[in-house]
Amino acid sequence: MRILHTESSVGWGGQEIRVLDESAGLIARGHTVAIAAPAEAQISLAAPKRGIPYYPAPIFNRNFRALRGLRAVISEFRPDVVVTHSSTDSWITALATGFGRAIPVVRVRHLGAPVRSSATTRFIYKTVPRLVVGTGNAVCEMLIRNAALDPSRVFSIPTGTDTEKFAPCDRVQARSGGPFSAADKVVGIVATLRRGKGVPVLLAAATKPGLRDVKLLIVGDGFQLEPLKKEAAELGIADRVHFTGRQEDVTGFLNMMDVFVLPALVDEGVPQAMSQAMASGLPVVTTPSGAITELVRDGETGLFTPRGDAEALAAAIKRVLEDKELAKRMGAAARAHIEAGYTRKKMLDDMEMVLARAVERR
């Protein structure tokens, strides 16, 4: 198949990483894959480094220039199917493909946040795409409900994890030469630092009496990075918080952690970093937000706490750190859960099937 991904987002996060991983994986399987995105987009800089063909397309805004640019890419690349990932590129692709009639379109919804129940939502999710992919069952159920979709046209395909790359590792060795000693209790998060990830709640939890000897490892970049550094200083915990900024490879940082925490304040899809942490054998503490409830089984692979509740978050983290048998059992169960249904191979198998089905229905 000739597969063209469109992405209008210029930022960086799990969505963009998934597009790159999926593209590279399908290229390795013999498909011809390319990405069309604005020249200033982060994914545009990353694609060539991964050996993924890239076409500059001014699709950040909905205008005639964007439409002409995408039509030119389609004319040159001649895809069998176009896969859209964000709102703006989905609208431009709708026009560039004759509302999905000239070339089949597959729409992927990465976010767990609800879409509006409206005529425009139904157009972009129901009328144009042949098939729709959500990154978790909760995302799919929301789309079926709000966009009035036929469930037979909607597929849940969580982002898959490379279980060879992300695997349990000796923490003492992982911390050697790093910012933490073998005896430190390290609680961490890997995320694009925006409000919905709930990192301020984690900082507040670190001030509670039960966590005063805990170190925090915050891996990632985003518009909240500098405000979070300032907040850590104001809370008097700056000496216990290690910010790494953006990292291309997070395996080493995950291997330094004792517990992975994602105090999400909004509905998520299946968080890529959490899957990687679980594959690495880490117990997790999080909130029951969106498709996280499919990934984490409370008391088995991790612990749930209420959104925004720093006291409850601190208590859950303290419980995992102090109960080594519980941490070990949850870490092993987390790894097994990822191996059973959230691998990179399964993601590629499922996406390959969906894309082939969309082309067959042409």
Q: What is the pLDDT of residue 121?
A: 95
- Asked if residues 4 and 83 have their Cβ atoms less than 8 Å apart, the reply is yes
Q: What Cα–Cα distance (Å) separates residue 319 from each residue in 43, 45, 138, 281, 298?
A: 39, 42, 28, 17, 13
Q: Do domains 2-159+343-360 and 171-341 have the same CATH topology?
A: yes
Q: What is the pLDDT of residues 200-244, one digit of tens each?
A: 999 999 999 999 999 999 999 999 999 999 999 999 999 999 999
- Asked if residues 211 and 318 have their Cβ atoms less than 8 Å apart, the reply is yes
Q: What is the pLDDT of residue 248?
A: 87
Q: What is the pLDDT of residue 270?
A: 87
Residues 6 or more apart in contact with residue 218 via CB below 8 angstroms:
188, 189, 193, 199, 202, 228, 241, 242, 243, 244
Question: Three-state DSSP class for 137?
Answer: helix
Q: Are β-strands 81-84 and 105-109 bridged in parallel, bridged antiparallel, or unpaired?
A: parallel
- Asked if residues 219 and 251 have their Cβ atoms less than 8 Å apart, the reply is no
Answer whether 0.85 is exceeded by the pTM: yes
Q: What is the pLDDT of residues 296-339, one digit of tens each?
A: 999 999 999 999 999 999 999 999 999 999 999 999 999 999 99
State the Cα angle at 300 between 257 and 283, rounded to 5°.
Answer: 0
Q: What is the pLDDT of residue 219?
A: 97
The radius of gyration of the chain's CA atoms, rounded to the nearest angstrom, is 21
Q: What is the pLDDT of residue 362?
A: 61
Low-confidence ranges of the chain (pLDDT < 50): none
Sign of CA dihedral 41, 45, 50, 55: positive
User: What would you measure as the largest C-alpha separation in the chain, in angstroms?
Assistant: 62
- CA–CA distance, 31 with 297 (Å, rounded to integer): 36
Q: On the CB side of 36, how many CA atoms lie within 13 Å of its CA? A: 33
Count CB neighbours of 351 within 10 A.
22
Structure tokens at 220: 């990632």
DSSP 15-76: HHHHHHHHHHHHHHTT-EEEEEE-TTSHHHHHHHHTT--EEE---SS-SHHHHHHHHHHHHH
* Range 2-159+343-360 classified under CATH 3.40.50.280: no
Topology, domain 171-341:
Rossmann fold (3.40.50)
Count CB neighbours of 176 within 10 A.
12
Domain range list for the chain: 2-159+343-360, 171-341
Residue 124, class by beta-carbon neighbours within 10 Å (0-12 exposed, 13-18 middle, 19+ buried)?
Answer: buried
- Asked if residues 333 and 176 have their Cβ atoms less than 8 Å apart, the reply is no
